[in-house]
Structure 1
């Protein structure tokens, strides 16, 4: 069992290394396209990995009992209490410009949602083909994570899942620039590490999350 775990960790580290090498080549091959444009092929690579996470988040509400479903998720960075333990400041919400918003399009963008009630999710699925999704400013809220260009629903999880599954609809989202995380955090595909002390902070939630995080670092370095 111990040998299997070691092999699995080595495999993930190699997969991460290969992914970053591929990302570098894609950026080098497309220097005529702005790295900040959603049309840049590097964001298609991010989508490949993000789709796996998006699917798992929606599967979780189907495969888990009602009271075992997590009501919150920390993607792309360790939980706040662990950051605090390592003296890492979570700067991404400091001085956020509340007027800096974009429109996320469910047909174009990757958007994560975390439904937490099996009953409400079943109800949402029953209406899947009965109605077009429409934005409700009193219920729906979202963040748009840069430099990954990924949307995350922060309120209206169940009804937003309709738009995600049907790939129809759009809504405004608050832009959150996560670039400051690259100063203090790095990952090898298995753990997040304190970049300065090299100490482990926590396991990553998904291998795909680690790939997206390090591609984000690469994108940020090219801006």
Structure 2
């Protein structure tokens, strides 16, 4: 039996692309639930004691890769040099506003921003494999970096610029947010390289106050909706983070 027929039950690839009536279109909630169940299966599997890192972190990488690619290629579709059309890429844009109130008890307000705990760590991230999220926003800068960075080019092989590259990594998941150096870090992803983040933050405390059901991010206090889910993959990554906390796993282990 051919591989594609095994997967698609004899439907051709073109039939799948057209949207066969036999293929159910899942809701965002269904997709979220399926992702979480998939991650749980990985977490409950027997993993070799010699594994350098738990395979659930590869699941996180897979989930984030689409958004990473979308932002990296965004400027290729833009006509002209308009540089303010690229939306910022941060947790506030794919999850919920970091400064939104997630706890309010007798005048005591807590925001996600307040619960990020800095962790001293010198671990370098692998730009070509780890989940780092640049958002190149200036077309000419991206073109210049493509032309200049690389073996045999003007600036030669990619290397970290500590005066320009500012990255923070969220634990336990290992999401790397880019706060500076978007264009050259994009080249580091394409060509391969390592980067030492400026900060590592553990967001484990947030799970005491917020949960996601696949449709909304919700305060545990009073079940009040903080924000609707706009990106199913990152909503799932958020809840996979909770599972990691429960299992005592972290990207930096």
**What TM-score do you get using the length of structure 1 for normalisation?**
0.82
Structure 1 position 215 matched with structure 2 position 252: no
Give the corresponding residue for 2:71: 57
Structure 2, unaligned runs of 5 or more: 1-23, 249-253
Give the corresponding residue for 1:70: 87
CA offsets, 1:2-39, max 9 Å, x none?
Answer: xxxxx98x7111111121112111111135559xx762
Q: Hey, what's the Cα distance between the residues in 2 that align with 1:127 and 1:85?
A: 48
**Contact 2:170 2:176 survives alignment (8 Å):** yes
Give the corresponding residue for 1:28: 44
Moved more, 187-196 or 50-59: 187-196
In the TM superposition, what is the alpha-carbon distance from 1:156 to its structure 2 partner?
0.9
CA offsets, 1:184-206, max 9 Å, x none?
Answer: 11223332221222222123342
**What TM-score do you get using the length of structure 2 for normalisation?**
0.73
Relative contact order higher in (CA < 8 Å, ≥ 6 apart): 1
Pairing 1:144-223 to 2, within 5 Å after superposition:
144-166=169-191, 168-173=192-197, 174-223=199-248
In the TM superposition, what is the alpha-carbon distance from 1:85 to its structure 2 partner?
8.7
**Contact 1:114 1:157 survives alignment (8 Å):** yes
Q: Hey, what's the Cα distance between the residues in 2 that align with 1:108 and 1:48?
A: 10
In the TM superposition, what is the alpha-carbon distance from 1:176 to its structure 2 partner?
0.9
CA offsets, 1:114-139, max 9 Å, x none?
Answer: 22212212222223543311111111
**Contact 1:102 1:144 survives alignment (8 Å):** no
Q: Which structure's residues are more often helix, by fraction?
A: 1
Structure 1, unaligned runs of 5 or more: 1-6
CA offsets, 1:162-197, max 9 Å, x none?
Answer: 00122x111211211111121111223332221222
Corresponding residue to 2:124 among 93, 96, 103? 103
Give the corresponding residue for 2:8: none
The secondary structure found in structure 2 opposite 1:70 is coil
In the TM superposition, what is the alpha-carbon distance from 1:77 to its structure 2 partner?
4.4
**Contact 2:133 2:177 survives alignment (8 Å):** yes
Task: Count residues with an aligned counterpart.
Answer: 211
Cα RMSD of the aligned pairs, angstroms, is 2.7
Q: Hey, what's the Cα distance between the residues in 2 that align with 1:202 and 1:172?
A: 32
Structure 1 position 19 matched with structure 2 position 35: yes
Alpha-carbon distance change, 191 to 122 in structure 1, aligned in 2, over 3 angstroms: farther
Corresponding residue to 2:100 among 62, 68, 82? 82
Q: Hey, what's the Cα distance between the residues in 2 that align with 1:67 and 1:107?
A: 27
